[in-house]
Structure 1
């Protein structure tokens, strides 16, 4: 109903040069909302998509079905598999092997120590905020059981979800065994994001800017900060995950809500070196969608 009301207002107010978005594969939902027909300008990402955050209906995309490396956006599926499995208060011991795994692939870490014990819920924060590959390894060992078992569960989940352009060979998105062996597409990642963000636990985690684990009998103190710049810099941001490897470049899967309208999107390989570029790509896409709405809805003076 909200979409219909806003669409009606904008159709009257927007004037020439604006057209209704025709969602991919959903012709009966045309006239969802009107936007400039040329799409967002200045987006650097090689692949991208922006969609309705409720249905996943794609509003704009680039190379929507092209599989590419996705780096640590992989951890969204890792978190999804763990949360759906449940028992998030179970104690998980950090394996010694997690340290060598991170070191071998130069992966980001949550600063975990071998042998320390945290709950699965705590490790999910370490997985998603600082993008801890050590947390991914520990969770995979506990929930697989083992790396191979867990990766099989990731791929089974992707298959059930219909993510035909997606495949996982690692729970972190590291180049293991090859640069592009873990890959996905913009439209698949939007669908994955919609599913993950439907889980309250996941939303709470990825919407957190920081998380503190006090020292306990089996663990040392941890203080984790989110790598998602949008959480700090773009109004209405709800999450969700950054990513970066040499092959994938800087990537960002994101969701926001403004004027009561949730949007979810992804940018892949925005830059070889800069997470700022990925954030700016996301902002350009979001502003392209929100600005016509906010300009009409702002109070008339």
Structure 2
């Protein structure tokens, strides 16, 4: 993901400079991208922001959002132990996983870190089942929430983002989703900036390389499938003169390499 991280860094810095110096927005080799000033709500620059694409693991942002909501509403607790189903355990063995096991209950809190830091597809299913009772019911909740947020060109078919023609979104919609996570659950949003997480004696690093390359970046998520290409949403707080910090959100979808 290093090349993609550099592209996003260019977007974050370049468009920020563009506002101050009226220079051209950066050229990014992606199907679709968008840079949002989250403070003002202004789209600073974009390319094909309404193009419908598969979001890969960026889907997990909505999954996390609904778990945060369930914790807030006291439907689940962070310390609650979840029994891992065989269905969650068996999710695409060749994909990114947290490596949970049906024989070992796991805390909701650990599953959240496994979801957002390790990008575990097994964690996504386990959380969906813990919150909604079944993956299908949880997916219905995801789509209901998408409608509430005004994500007009988004539809979810699973909680993890593995390939499905019925799992799609746009750079525009994903920027709104990212903004909701940051604004609605700032304490939980801090999970996105954790650089590594260890579960069951297996340590995995956050795939968001910008956390190492740029100290102003504090989230959000990367994703990749053959269908989606390489995808990333990043957010950073940039100095904005006397006005204080300005938060920027960059969405880059469908690059050919990481």
- Indicate the TM-score class for this superposition, using the shorter chain for normalisation: 0.7 to 0.9
Q: Which has the higher contact order (CA 8 A, sep 6+)?
A: 2
The answer to whether the 8 A contact 2:54-2:227 is kept is yes
- 2:192 matched to which residue of 1? 206
Instruction: From 87, 109, 128, give the equivalent of 1:121.
Output: 109
Offset of residue 35 of structure 1: 4.9
Q: Where does the alignment leave 5 or more consecutive residues of structure 1 unmatched? A: 1-17, 22-32, 214-219, 276-301
- Which sections of structure 2, spanning at least 5 residues, go unmatched? 1-14, 72-76, 240-244
Does residue 268 of the first structure (1) align with residue 258 of the second (2)? Answer: no
Q: Offset of 1:222 from its aligned partner? A: 4.3
CA contact (8 A) 1:144 1:150 kept: yes
| 2:24 matches 1:38 | yes
Match of 1:244 in 2: 224
Aligned to 2:86: 96
* Residue in structure 1 matched with residue 162 of structure 2 by the alignment: 174
The alpha-carbon distance between structure 1 residues 70 and 222, as it changes in their structure 2 partners (threshold 3 A), is same
Matched, 1:223 2:227: no
Q: Who wins on radius of gyration, i.e. which is larger? A: 1
User: CA RMSD of the aligned region, Å?
Assistant: 1.9
Give the conservation status (yes or no) of the 8 Å contact 1:56–1:191. no
Q: What are the residue-to-residue correspondences of 1:1-301 with 2, within 5 Å?
A: 33-36=19-22, 38-41=24-27, 43-86=28-71, 87-103=77-93, 106-175=94-163, 178=164, 180-198=165-183, 199-213=185-199, 220-259=200-239, 260-271=245-256, 274-275=257-258
- CA deviation vs aligned residue, 1:15-34 (integer Å, no higher than 9, x gap): xxx9x98xxxxxxxxxxx44
User: Any runs of at least 4 consecutive aligned residues in structure 1 with deviations exceeding 3 A, and if so which?
Assistant: 33-38
Instruction: Report how many aligned residue pairs link the two structures.
Output: 232
Say whether the 8 Å CA contact 2:90–2:122 is kept in structure 1: no
- Which residue number corresponds to residue 7 of structure 2? none
Q: CA deviation at 1:235?
A: 2.9
> With structure 1 as the length reference, what TM-score do the two structures score?
0.73
TM-score w.r.t. the length of structure 2 is 0.84
